[in-house]
Amino acid sequence: MDDDPDFSSLLAEYLTLQGFALQTVQDAARVEEAIGAFSPDLILLDQRLGSISGTDVLRRLRLFTDLPCMIVTNNSETMDRIVNLELGADDEMQKTVTPREMLARIRTVLRRRRRQEEASQPSEPARPGWTLDTGRRVLRQPDGTVCPLTNAEFETLAILHASRGSPVSRMTLCSKVFGRPFRVGDRAVDTIVKNLRRKIEPAASDFATIQAVRTFGYVFVGFPEVRTPEPLRA
């Protein structure tokens, strides 16, 4: 993401020659849509996107994805760099860096992510269960099929899932999911949670994936366990 079309064009041309597939976005409002459609392995984010800072965009990105993110900036402010790193930026570099060094940094971040993913692979076959893929914005059911969710449903689930065990207020959910303040009597969040429960929780069961916290909001307690049928005995 970069609001400088000339810089974006030159960078895209160079990285394409190095074997990368890219999609450039100059509008911060379209970043989530672009990530969902393109499913990138890494995000290059300009620190200044018109009137919006890259820090603000990164903060929003971290609500729904842990994709590697590198900041490209003309700004040398130490505090901005610290905040970006605390929000989960994987690297930060000046726009004056040579294309070759930028390529080396990108490859380093991608190698680091691959090592992390390999290290996290279970040594034993994984038990079947629900899988929330925040990078591709997909919820998979235990049988591997995709559970269809609206954007609002996915964002609500992702926020609650990220705070598993800790209640999230209706005020926070309304602000992050719908981009507006919560008002007394507003049932939008309650409706989204009701729809999520209907899609995830097993029928005729008292198990609650998302539990209500009286007068406050909701807490994610976990996906339903998948019970493996016991083998038949002769």
Residue ranges per structural domain of the chain: 5-119, 131-220
Asked if CATH classification 3.40.50.300 holds for the domain at 5-119, the reply, yes or no, is no
* Closest among 60, 52, 35, 33 to 179, alpha carbons compared: 60
Residue, of 123 and 129, whose pLDDT is higher: 129
* Contact indicator for 190, 174 with CB cutoff of 8 Å: no
What span, in angstroms and rounded, lies between the C-alpha atoms of 154 and 186? 19
Alpha-carbon span 92 to 58, nearest angstrom: 12
Confidence of residue 102 (pLDDT cuts 50, 70, 90): very high
Please indicate whether the domains covering 5-119 and 131-220 agree at the CATH topology level: no
Q: What is the pLDDT of residues 13-32, one digit of tens each?
A: 999 999 988 888 877 777 87
Mean local confidence (pLDDT), 215-228: 84
Q: Cα–Cα distance between 48 and 2 in angstroms, integer?
A: 8
CATH of region 131-220, choose from 1.10.10.10, 1.10.3720.10, 1.10.10.60, 1.10.10.410: 1.10.10.10
Helix (H) or strand (E) holding 61: helix 54-61
Tens digit of each residue's pLDDT (9 = 90 or more) over 144-159: 899 998 888 999 999 9
